[in-house]
């Protein structure tokens, strides 16, 4: 049982990652792709944070009575990665807004059609 429980967390996170990755690859809508990227990155963060957890440990804020703390380093890495994912999402959506104004559509297949015309 502990074998399953030990890796259950990681398997679910991998399924979430693959969901986000699938949206990015399969869906032609540009906004949907950016949302897929956002979900893909958020699930990578959950992988990092579930790596940092110690059984019976608490948040890494030092207090007198407590001794076992979960690992602070992945938390720092993820604080950086969340900001990176926000920057990517903001730029992606800004590009989608400009593409929508330039092409009149935000669907990748329609854009290819317009590109072939001119």
Backbone phi and psi for residue 61, each to the nearest 5 degrees, phi listed first: -110, 115
Judged by CB under 8 A, does residue 116 bind another protein?
A: no
Span 38-97, contacts to another protein by CB under 8 A: 38-55, 57-63, 68-84, 86-97
Q: Which of 1, 115, 116, 117 binds another protein (CB under 8 A)?
A: 115
Report the run of H or E that residue 46 belongs to, with start and end. Answer: helix 30-52
Cα 20–Cα 9–Cα 82 angle in degrees, nearest 5: 50
Minimum Å gap between C-beta 25 and another protein is 4
The yes or no reply on residue 1 touching another protein (CB under 8 A) is no
Q: Classify the phi-psi angles of 70: left when phi > 0, otherwise alpha if psi is within -120 to 50, otherwise beta.
A: beta
- 24-43 binders of another protein (CB under 8 A): 24-35, 37-43
């Amino acid at each position: 049982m502990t074998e399953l429980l030990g890796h259950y967390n990681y398997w679910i996170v991998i399924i979430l990652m693959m969901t986000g990755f699938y949206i990015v690859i399969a869906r032609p809508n540009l906004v949907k792709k950016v949302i897929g990227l956002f979900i893909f990155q958020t699930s990578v963060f959950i992988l990092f944070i579930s790596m940092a957890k110690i059984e019976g440990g608490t948040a890494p804020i030092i207090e007198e009575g407590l001794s076992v703390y979960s690992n602070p380093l992945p938390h720092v890495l993820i604080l950086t990665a969340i900001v990176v994912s926000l920057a990517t999402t903001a730029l992606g959506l800004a590009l989608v807004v400009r593409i929508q104004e330039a092409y009149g559509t935000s669907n990748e297949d329609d854009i290819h059609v317009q590109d072939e015309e001119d």
